[in-house]
Amino acid sequence: MYEGHTEVTTDVTTDVTADVTADVTADVTTDPLVSCAEECGVRDVQDRLGDKWTVHVVVELAAGARRFRELQRLVTGISQRMLTLTLRRLERDGLVTRTVYPTTPPQVEYELTETGHSMTHLIKQLIDWSLDHRAVIGRAREEWDAKQR
């Protein structure tokens, strides 16, 4: 939204209000698809998947174990600090394992756990959805931006 955005973005007339109210009342008795009225854990998953780098790191680790510098090269634009934080969070959540090999200097590898690999199916669906809808979303943005000028 932008400053001054106070307009209603959908047109609703009083003639359809009765029909809409009847439809809404009829749907109230059906169970919602998902309910998180109480703590359901979705926020934790959203926080992890919603950060800027997690999906990129998981996609790279889906191909197999990677060393830190290799990940840093593959995840374009990530700083050393952000990669460290992202890997620590993923490790804390049980999605990534960190293995230190006793060499000089120490060699460290990161790898997805079974749970981490199971998440790649969701990420693939998200990527497929975004590719399928990229053009539609682009047109909607252009139309919306044109109306705001």
Q: Are 71 and 83 in contact (CB under 8 A)?
A: yes
Would the pLDDT of 94 be above 70? yes
Contacts by 138-145 with C-beta closer than 8 Å and gap 24+?
none
Would the pLDDT of 81 be above 50? yes
Q: Which residue has the tokens 């960190």?
A: 98
Confidence of residue 26 (pLDDT cuts 50, 70, 90): very low
Tokens, residue 52: 């800027």
Confidence of residue 7 (pLDDT cuts 50, 70, 90): low
For the segment 50-68, what is each residue's pLDDT rounded down to a tens digit?
A: 778 999 999 999 999 999 9
The full DSSP string for 29-59 is TSPPS---SS--SHHHHHHHHHSSSHHHHHH
**Confidence (pTM):** 0.66
Degrees (nearest 5) of the Cα angle 120, 122, 128?
Answer: 100
CA pair distance 106, 26, nearest whole angstrom: 64
Domain 41-148 sits in CATH at 1.10.10.10
For the segment 104-141, what is each residue's pLDDT rounded down to a tens digit?
A: 988 999 999 999 999 899 889 988 999 999 999 999 99
Instruction: Tell me the domain boundaries of the chain.
Output: 41-148
Question: pLDDT above 70 covers what percent of the chain?
Answer: 67
- Beta-carbon-side half-sphere exposure of residue 13 (alpha carbons within 13 Å): 2
